[in-house]
Amino acid sequence: MRSLPLPHTLLLVIATALAFLSPAQAAEIVALRSGSAGERLEFRLTGVPDAANPFDPDVIRVDAEITAPSGARTTVPAFWFQDYSRRLEAGAEVLSPAGSPEWRLRFTSLESGKHRVELLVSERGSAPRKLATANVDVAPSPNAAARGTVRIASDRRYFEKSDGSALRLIGENVCWPQSRGTFDYEEWFTEMQRSGQNFARLWMAPWWAGIEHAPDSLTRYKLDAAWQLDRVFDLAEQHGLYLMLCFDHHGMYMANDPAWGGSNNFWTRSNPYSVENGGPCSSPNDFFTNPKARELYQKRLRYLIARYGHNPLLHSWQFFNEIDNSYLPRSNLVAADVAAWHRDMARWLRANDPYQRLITTSLTGGSDRPEIWEIPEIEFSMYHSYADPSPGKKIARLSEDFVQRYGKPVMIGEFGVLGANWARPLDPHLRGLRQALWGGALGGSVGTSMTWWWEDVHEDRAYSLISALSRVLKDAGWHDGTWTPLTLPSSTPPLKLGATIREGETFNASVALNTFRRILLSGEAAIANPLSAARASEALSGFLRGANTPAEQRRPLRLLARFGEGARLVYRVESVGGPVSIVVRAGERELHREQIDAPSVNVNTTAPKLNREVSVALPAGEQHIEILNTGDGWAVIDSLRLEKVRYSEFAGGWEFPPESVGLRQGRKAILYVNSPWMVHPAGAIRYDGPLLRGQSVPLRDWPAGQYRIAAFDPRTGERLHETTASTTHSTLTVPLPDFSDDLAIVVTPLAR
């Protein structure tokens, strides 16, 4: 990086080197990048003594002690740096060193005025000695507060910026590029900014941006990977994107695990903490308990603070992606040791990060680990949502549950309608994606659900859905003030049936099941009509755990329905892991039992397909049908059909209402509404659903007055309809225009 001329807003006076240095060794602090308050300043440091390992602070420790005009003093570490140039060659990014490696210093101050910078060095534990001083005059900036440290808002639900203004996030994961490297981020960040996004999540991994992710790399950090990460941060600044930086993924702590075809077993392949790769740890769990490993990891954290901590758009540090993927029995990680490590490392990071960036980690979808989320220094929780039925409702309920139990914000850090791939055939109209985006934004989490399949989002131009959401929310004032979740009518059907209807008629019900193994569902559903069967995956999981799993996770399938003569249950066992015994009961009466023996297979391993179909006769009348697995292994039931089911009402005349999530701010509200026929995945494949007329959503405990009700198309952001409504008996009944899919609704008070 070449030196930049200094503008008049930055006055830098380099002090004379200390007397013990010869003129040839005189230390200097040379400005490379000027900035106003709240912006990055960067300096080249010369005259620093040579060291055998400039990355190891036990060998040489270089710090800057900065005194602000207010008298506040901050110590900022310096770092070893190599500049690079880049080019595209046969579609791949190629880096070439530019110049010689050198010491660099970066810092950001929210104060304007004269800052005093003292450069200190300590060699092999010696007392720090001063090398040079500089006076830096930082000009005022109207954006200084707005671009300062992100912090937790006082409502403990959202984030805010240093000036106290709310920071609501719209974003996605863009964790690594393909061969084009940082050139990919130029395209992605441009489109993300255009679509109204302000957040992105990055990974450090062996294949991208991993500075200490290869054999023999402990305190020997990869400078080319660090430079690429510099470039991504620079691009984020240009496009106004806050970044979460994830330090490691779970595969770094997996060994001999068959899941994902063994492709994630990086412990022996590349983790430098492993004894096989020159490290101090004989097993993955040793990383979390070994004092030497902890000390080495803290040195990496110090380097990351020095190089990236200053950046105004660094939203947060994240220790791991889904570390519980490596828990027993899949690897040897002990949950208590991992939790203790998080507590200690978060405290170290909080004590040593001068910028106090937020700290978090992440766990697998369906996982809830209070021992981690209750750590005070883990400042917000994360949930990864994959294959969640009714994603808008699920995300809203989960967000409120997490906020209430842990007293901190929750981010839906990853989302996909499937955990294996983009799965566009399962969501051809992107209804699942829309419901997750709006459910996150209006369900009480810190922002939208952060989509995972970023290359597919880019290729399929799904940015248009994010653009529509961004425009509607911006115009509704979502980015400003305090919003709280609305209490809306439940769309969960009762588990009791009412009167039989359409006497003499029956239907065959294809009962939808959710087979994502990490999700625990209630396991109970009443089948009254075809819609209730289509939406049964919100309650029923086809993954039947066996006796070798905790009792609270062994949930049989329980169905309530009325049957005509000749009724049958037909189910198909797709695969099993270990010996299973499938039992079908009607009340206390056993109707069928089948033993299936198979080799013991890990819970997340792809087992051979059986595709065994079983047909069981059912007695007529109202029956409680139970399907359970009494064996030790697990079974996947991927299809379930009930034949000759009688049409019934639900108890109390309950009917599926429009499914809604929403936020309120005083007399304003924003809602996202789905047709009950189109809640993902039930209506995923439909081109269009039945046209709904005369529907409404009640807002309870609503201030008296008259309100404007504006409806928007969530696919385009287009205004569809506008009307007015008045409060009656503390309820504002929000009328919905005729619709067949989904709506965004904005409620605002009319001037009195």
* 572-591 pLDDT, tens digit each: 999 998 899 999 999 999 99
Helix (H) or strand (E) holding 614: strand 612-617
Same domain, 638 and 689: no
Model pLDDT, residue 602: 56
Q: Strand, helix or coil at 431?
A: helix
Same domain, 272 and 392: yes
CA 569 remoteness from chain centre = 39
pLDDT band at 601 (very low <50, low <70, confident <90, very high): low
pLDDT band at 549 (very low <50, low <70, confident <90, very high): confident
pLDDT band at 415 (very low <50, low <70, confident <90, very high): very high
Contact indicator for 161, 234 with CB cutoff of 8 Å? no
Residue 461 is given by DSSP the state: T
Task: Determine the structural domain holding residue 237 and report its residue range.
Answer: 171-476
Is residue 163 assigned to a domain?
no
Model pLDDT, residue 16: 31
Q: How far apart are the C-alpha atoms of 528 and 652, rounded to whole Å?
A: 13
The angle, 0 to 180 degrees and rounded to 10, between the axes of the packed helices 431-442 and 463-476 is: 30
Q: How far apart are the C-alpha atoms of 56 and 54, rounded to whole Å?
A: 6
pLDDT band at 529 (very low <50, low <70, confident <90, very high): very high
Q: How far apart are the C-alpha atoms of 271 and 259, rounded to whole Å?
A: 18
Is residue 482 assigned to a domain?
no
- Which residues are CB-neighbours of 671 under 8 A, at least 6 positions away? 442, 486, 488, 660, 661, 662, 697, 734, 743, 744, 745, 746, 747
Mean pLDDT of 227-256: 96
Torsion on CA atoms 699, 701, 707, 708, rounded to nearest 10: -30
Is residue 330 assigned to a domain?
yes
Same domain, 297 and 422: yes
Same domain, 515 and 629: yes
Is residue 160 assigned to a domain?
no
pLDDT band at 516 (very low <50, low <70, confident <90, very high): confident
**Closest CA relative to residue 165, chosen from 481, 585, 588, 399:** 481
DSSP strand pairing (543-544 vs 557-577): unpaired
* 10-69 pLDDT, tens digit each: 333 333 333 333 344 689 999 998 788 888 999 999 999 999 999 999 999 999 999 999
Mean pLDDT of 318-338: 89
pLDDT band at 262 (very low <50, low <70, confident <90, very high): confident
Same domain, 220 and 104: no
Write out the DSSP string of 444-458. Answer: TSSBS--BS-HHHHH
Output b/e per residue, 178-189; b: 16+ Cβ within 10 A: eeebbbbbeebb
* 698-745 pLDDT, tens digit each: 999 999 999 999 999 999 999 999 999 999 999 999 999 999 999 999
Same domain, 120 and 181: no
* 95-124 pLDDT, tens digit each: 999 999 999 999 999 899 999 999 999 999
- Which residues are CB-neighbours of 566 under 8 A, at least 6 positions away? 643, 644
CA 479 remoteness from chain centre = 20
Per-residue pLDDT at 600 exceeds 80: no
Residue 702 is given by DSSP the state: P
pLDDT band at 263 (very low <50, low <70, confident <90, very high): confident
* 464-511 pLDDT, tens digit each: 999 999 999 999 999 999 999 999 988 899 999 999 999 889 999 999
Q: Classify 701 in phi/psi space as left (phi over 0), alpha (psi -120 to 50) or beta.
A: left
Per-residue pLDDT at 376 exceeds 90: yes
Model pLDDT, residue 19: 32
Same domain, 323 and 434: yes
User: Of 86, 118, 138, which residue constitutes the final position of a domain?
Assistant: 138
pLDDT band at 434 (very low <50, low <70, confident <90, very high): very high
Same domain, 229 and 350: yes
Domain CATH code at residue 709: 2.60.40.1500
Is residue 575 assigned to a domain?
yes
Cα–Cα separations (whole angstroms), residue 573 to 277, 581, 603: 43, 11, 16
Mean pLDDT of 373-384: 97
* 618-650 pLDDT, tens digit each: 999 999 999 999 999 999 999 999 999 999 999
Domain CATH code at residue 88: 2.60.40.10
Q: How far apart are the C-alpha atoms of 192 and 440, rounded to whole Å?
A: 18
Domain CATH code at residue 443: 3.20.20.80
Q: How many domains are there within the chain?
A: 4
Same domain, 335 and 416: yes
Mean pLDDT of 294-315: 97
pLDDT band at 460 (very low <50, low <70, confident <90, very high): very high
Assign 3-state DSSP to the chain and report helix, strand, coil percentages, each to 5. 20, 35, 45
Name the burial class of residue 216, with classes exposed (0-12), middle (13-18) and buried (19+) by CB atoms within 10 angstroms of its CB. Answer: exposed
Same domain, 370 and 467: yes
Contact indicator for 511, 641 with CB cutoff of 8 Å? yes
Same domain, 405 and 287: yes
Helix (H) or strand (E) holding 723: strand 719-728
Per-residue pLDDT at 570 exceeds 70: yes
User: Of 599, 631, 652, which residue constitutes the final position of a domain?
Assistant: 652
Model pLDDT, residue 608: 76
Write out the DSSP string of 549-587. Answer: S-GGG---EEEEEEEEEEEEEEEEEEEEES-EEEEEEET
Per the structure block, which two tokens stand in for 14?
Answer: 């380099």
Q: Is the omega angle on the peptide bond into residue 97 within 30 degrees of 0, that is, cis? A: no
Q: How far apart are the C-alpha atoms of 216 and 279, rounded to whole Å?
A: 7
User: Of 622, 652, 682, which residue constitutes the final position of a domain?
Assistant: 652
Same domain, 605 and 727: no
Q: What is the mean pLDDT of the chain?
A: 92
Is residue 484 assigned to a domain?
no
Is residue 368 assigned to a domain?
yes
**Closest CA relative to residue 82, chosen from 247, 267, 211:** 211
Is residue 324 assigned to a domain?
yes
Model pLDDT, residue 9: 35
Per-residue pLDDT at 2 exceeds 90: no
Domain CATH code at residue 519: 2.60.120.260
